Amino acid sequence: MTAANSMHTDETRRTFLHHACLIAAGGIATAASTINPAPACAAPNNKKTLSGKTAFVTGAARGIGRAICEKFAAYGADVAMLDIADPAKLHSTAGYSVSTMREFDEAVAAVKVHGTRVAKFQADVRNLSALEEAARQTAGQLGGIDIVVANAGYVAWHSFEDGTPLQWRDVIDVNILGVFYTAKATIPYLKKRGGGRIINLASVGGRAAFAGNGAYTSTKWAVVGMTKQAALELGKYRIAVNAIAPGAVNTPMYRSEGQRRSMGVNTSQEQDMIIDPLSPLGSAGAIDPEDVADAALFLVGDAAKTISATIVDVALGYNASYTA
């Protein structure tokens, strides 16, 4: 990290990205959200490569899920957005909670800006019936499902020894069963259309272990295994299954008090001082949700038609230290 860059606050960095997007998009300003302020760059009109496709995305109310929805809509896809959107429905872990309905409404509005159709579902990925109903309604309202992103995730920070059965249960239920249920509910529709794509959100925590991450590490390794098994079995239906394993991403999860406590720091700047020296691409602080969305866009596009069972590390090269 250069000295100049190290002085950038999160806010100045987001403002820079916001302006970069606006310049690339031809200069039409949209309101910035305080939750996820940098809008996805609009796709050029001749690049609506996802026109006619429908994407089903969980954990869509904010962070990476929201960025993926915005990106896919910018490239012409109709989008079904699903989120629990109620902190009371999942035991809060110290220093982090799931999204609110207000965040969800803001995300839906941001996706609608792109002019494609949007369906919104408040549902819990731990509930298979709710996911099946959301998938049924998505197919009814938007014509089918071509792309599935199992992005909803949850974390409780504690030492291995001190983890409670409830903490382990919550994280396993969301991060493992939730990913499986998302696939199970949507596979029938992917089979109908043919050529479907599933993306699961793994993590750097699914490639290596990090002290203090509790059950999260185990569940994200499980996502990697599930991705490979599903890819083996679903290939015969021309369904590709891949995962994205991000490093530290600028979202409410990574920028939470719980995450900072587990790293032994108090501020985002201190987080960046720990992460930056680990990144060969250096000096960026945390990755932005839009960068993860770019990887997702690649994985659902024609350019990735031969790629399945692959884990794409979006980690500024830090993955050189922990993956083959």
CB of 288 to ligand NAD, least distance (A): 10
- Within residues 107-146, the interface with ligand NAD by CB under 6 A covers 124-126
**Interaction between residue 90 and ligand NAD (CB under 6 A):** yes
Q: Are the beta carbons of 70 and 293 closer than 8 angstroms?
A: yes
CB of 307 to ligand NAD, least distance (A): 20
Q: Indicate the residue among 41 and 64 with the shorter CB distance to ligand NAD.
A: 64
**Interaction between residue 258 and ligand NAD (CB under 6 A):** no
b (16+ CB within 10 A) / e for 158-178: beeeeeeeebbebbbbbbbbb
Give the distance, in angstroms, between the CA of residue 17 and the centroid of all CA atoms in the same chain.
19
Query: Nearest CA to 154 among 78, 77, 216, 86?
Result: 216
Which part of the chain contacts ligand NAD (CB under 6 A), choosing from 14-22, 38-46, 151-159, 231-239?
Answer: 151-159
**Interaction between residue 58 and ligand NAD (CB under 6 A):** yes
Q: Indicate the residue among 178 and 214 with the shorter CB distance to ligand NAD.
A: 178
- Count of other CB atoms within 10 angstroms of residue 268: 18
Q: Which of 216, 254, 318, 322 is catalytic?
A: 216
Ramachandran category for residue 288: left, alpha or beta (phi over 0 → left; psi -120 to 50 → alpha)? beta
Q: Are the beta carbons of 127 and 83 closer than 8 angstroms?
A: no
Contacting residue, 41, 42, 61, 68, with ligand NAD by CB under 6 A: 61
Residues 6+ apart with CB under 8 A from 271: 248, 254, 255, 259, 260, 263, 265, 286
**Interaction between residue 273 and ligand NAD (CB under 6 A):** no
Q: Indicate the residue among 174 and 193 with the shorter CB distance to ligand NAD.
A: 174
Q: How many CA atoms lie within 13 A of 210 on its CB side?
A: 23
- Measured on CA atoms in the order 131, 134, 139, 145, is the torsion positive or negative? negative
**Interaction between residue 285 and ligand NAD (CB under 6 A):** no
DSSP code string of 60-84: TTSHHHHHHHHHHHHTT-EEEEEE-
CB of 282 to ligand NAD, least distance (A): 17
**Interaction between residue 72 and ligand NAD (CB under 6 A):** no
Contacting residue, 8, 38, 55, 83, with ligand NAD by CB under 6 A: 83
- Known catalytic residue at 216: yes
**Interaction between residue 151 and ligand NAD (CB under 6 A):** yes
In the stretch 180-219, what mask flags binding to ligand NAD with x, by CB under 6 A?
A: ---------------------x-xx---------------
CB of 125 to ligand NAD, least distance (A): 4
**Interaction between residue 248 and ligand NAD (CB under 6 A):** yes
**Interaction between residue 54 and ligand NAD (CB under 6 A):** no
DSSP code string of 227-275: HHHHHHHHGGGT-EEEEEEE-SBSSTTTTSHHHHHHHT-SSHHHHHHHH
Query: Nearest CA to 36 among 304, 259, 302, 292?
Result: 292
| Interface contacts to ligand NAD, rule CB under 6 A | 58-59, 61-65, 83-85, 90, 98-99, 124-126, 151-154, 174, 178, 201, 203-204, 246, 248-249, 251-254
Please identify every residue annotated as catalytic. Answer: 216
